[in-house]
Structure 1
């Protein structure tokens, strides 16, 4: 395999030297559903030495390793859903697979846009947990590290053990990811199975009296961030497939790394995947062989957990997950693919403008696909802002803890608005519909400094997306998208 890369912003040609990698690999087709459904195939490969041994290599500036993925975007016609989500998750301080967009040729035949990405693996530059040796069967060494997977069994080693609890109609299935099923010892199997079982027992029987016995088994901060990324993207596979847990030596169970987000941001016509409202963790109402583990719904019964979730959401909406940053990351990825996407869809004709399982929306152009996804994300963020507002205690100042400027959002009949003004004086609250038409203009009295006031909506206001704008002396103080509930 050869990789041609002449550096950031520079063009690459097939006639250029293979200057980033030029060596042996072992390669195979990968994927569960995608292997049979899509003609554009994904691959897993290992970099090898001339004598067939593993050879760590740095590909396109990523850290040295020998296990890699060539992911083939197909049903995701924007081709950026996975990379966008990994980028956002990494901004929260978690390890997420590093990615590089490439254009692939196999035997000199053009195959289109692919994503070269890191495979989930225990490594100091990937899932950085302790190495577990076959001799680590007692004491502290037995406690980690482990990586466990919740997923389909196709393409893997099968079920390694079942949860003792039934979610709706089925039990959660667990698979050993590290150490592998054929390498993990009996003592290590017994330890990690008991640890997960004890964690599930603590959650199942938790009465939420303030003691929080489950905290001795899991890192709730990692569970919260994992929940946020799955709910924000409305991942129909969330929690129940392609979901990983890891445990370091002497550590708690953590959620992650995240994996497989091509059926997100409205790109699924089942399990309500197209809707911008509702929650994925509750989707066990639909019978399926792979179910959301019961513990997610149980965690959401814990008021302390929910408050921590809401506070985390409010904090990251100011920066990492702000509308502006998400749009910036999205636009940057789209710009990077501006030329390559045309070549990709010349190679894969019959994709743009056609239904590919399990599309909900079918755009007639690449730009239409991107625009629809961005609109979906905007509505989803607004919905979660309304569902996850931070609930302040009496001694807390909402301004200090970064409350959202408009809440609840979505709303029914009344909005709370807070903003900062430099002068006293009259202003206006303006309501604008999706067509850009001003449908209401109400006077408001604005005081200098941090202020809060209420905006009453008419009962005749049609449910949907609007923009509220606050002005004073022809200066716009606040503009916010809002969603009116039925």
Structure 2
């Protein structure tokens, strides 16, 4: 008999006065001091709420920054995601594991059980922060990292938000690492994406974008059906050695057949050619479109199948189930939690059929 895997227990202590400050205005990003104990080791940390609309949920998500000791698992910042609207609790991790397996950069993720001031807060997903340490842990060259924080991160000269010309081409992005001049390069790329003549696009875009990795990311978004993934829910990393950008997924709980509110999303909701200006221009090239087609065919035959994903989904479900019964926000919906693996299997089958049918139109 093998040993039964257990979730790491994270015990967070926040002084009542600091807890009052944290709760007073959930939209303020200012952190408060706290103590985090993991396997008997104590960490002095700063803690703040994270996310946008998710801050309104009763089960909060947190950003944790360490200052004594300065690192834990080779990170000095990580995220604790509540996954409140995902009845399975596994969609984010399932997505990032999937992206890794199809050849994309993606954050590492693992489940933990959180207690705050002695009370059960429940199952959380510990998410790696996409920053300098993310690169160092993968032995990747340093470079700029930009977070796509809203719908203006659409690679267009026009805003997705107010349908007008952008006042700045870095709207929609928040620089996480790199040098001040990196924003100028990002702007130049966005201008060129929109202005390179059609006949020159194929040979010039490869000076900016690692096209194979972009198309792998596109295939990942299309398979998992993250409708928001084209204009935010990603980070841009520019590799200092190659000078090329690649794209890193982020916030993938609204996937595998459910939307941002956890409601059912039809398996044919998202077209396989996706959205955003860069995707449209890349797929306008016969060479790139052909490469995308072969990538998609390969992924839906190998990684995006029930046979491949079922053992992973079942293992995560079995690992989490005893802890869901201890989660004050989730224990009353255990029946829904138990139905979710089959729901995800059905989605994979239906989505795969849709993609296979649509591939012929590429």
TM-score (norm 1): 0.60
- The answer for the alignment partner of 1:264 in structure 2 is 255
Residue pairs, 1:25-424, within 5 angstroms: 25-36=45-56, 38-49=57-68, 55-58=70-73, 64-123=74-133, 124-126=135-137, 129-131=140-142, 145-152=143-150, 163-165=156-158, 169-170=163-164, 173-179=171-177, 184-185=179-180, 187-202=181-196, 205-207=197-199, 212-268=203-259, 274-279=265-270, 292-344=275-327, 347-348=328-329, 352=333, 365-388=336-359
Name the CA distance, whole Å, in 1 between partners of 2:296 and 2:153: 35
- The answer for the alignment partner of 1:474 in structure 2 is none
Shift of 1:387: 1.6
SS of the residue 1:65 aligns to: coil
Name the CA distance, whole Å, in 1 between partners of 2:308 and 2:153: 41
Aligned-residue RMSD, C-alpha: 3.4
Q: Judging changes above 3 Å, is the alpha-carbon distance between structure 1 residues 87 and 12 closer, same or farther for their aligned structure 2 residues?
A: closer
5+ unaligned residues in a row in structure 1: which ranges? Answer: 1-6, 59-63, 132-144, 154-158, 284-291, 354-363, 392-486
SS of the residue 1:375 aligns to: helix
Name the CA distance, whole Å, in 1 between partners of 2:100 and 2:153: 30
Of 9, 20, 30, which aligns to 2:5? 9
Structure having the larger proportion of residues in helix: 2
- The answer for the alignment partner of 2:15 in structure 1 is none
SS of the residue 2:230 aligns to: coil
Name the CA distance, whole Å, in 1 between partners of 2:40 and 2:289: 47
Name the CA distance, whole Å, in 2 between partners of 1:18 and 1:222: 36
In the alignment of these two chains, the number of paired residues is 328
Shift of 1:351: 6.6
Larger Rg, first or second structure (1 or 2) = 1
Name the CA distance, whole Å, in 2 between partners of 1:166 and 1:12: 43
Q: Judging changes above 3 Å, is the alpha-carbon distance between structure 1 residues 128 and 279 closer, same or farther for their aligned structure 2 residues?
A: farther
SS of the residue 2:131 aligns to: coil
SS of the residue 2:256 aligns to: coil
Segments of 4+ in structure 1 off by > 6 A? 11-15, 159-162
SS of the residue 2:268 aligns to: coil
Name the CA distance, whole Å, in 2 between partners of 1:25 and 1:273: 38
Give yes or no for contact 1:122–1:128 (8 Å, CA) kept in 2.
no
Name the CA distance, whole Å, in 2 between partners of 1:372 and 1:160: 32
Shift of 1:81: 0.2
Q: Judging changes above 3 Å, is the alpha-carbon distance between structure 1 residues 278 and 117 closer, same or farther for their aligned structure 2 residues?
A: closer
Shift of 1:189: 3.1
Name the CA distance, whole Å, in 1 between partners of 2:4 and 2:330: 29
Give yes or no for contact 2:6–2:319 (8 Å, CA) kept in 1.
no
Name the CA distance, whole Å, in 2 between partners of 1:101 and 1:299: 36
By relative contact order (CA 8 Å, sep 6+), the higher-ranking structure is: 2
Give yes or no for contact 1:245–1:253 (8 Å, CA) kept in 2.
no
Shift of 1:79: 0.1
Give yes or no for contact 2:109–2:126 (8 Å, CA) kept in 1.
yes
Give yes or no for contact 1:68–1:117 (8 Å, CA) kept in 2.
yes
SS of the residue 2:173 aligns to: strand
Name the CA distance, whole Å, in 1 between partners of 2:10 and 2:228: 38
5+ unaligned residues in a row in structure 2: which ranges? Answer: 12-36
- The answer for the alignment partner of 1:437 in structure 2 is none
Name the CA distance, whole Å, in 2 between partners of 1:233 and 1:14: 30
Q: Judging changes above 3 Å, is the alpha-carbon distance between structure 1 residues 20 and 389 closer, same or farther for their aligned structure 2 residues?
A: farther
Shift of 1:107: 0.1
Give yes or no for contact 1:235–1:273 (8 Å, CA) kept in 2.
no
SS of the residue 2:84 aligns to: coil
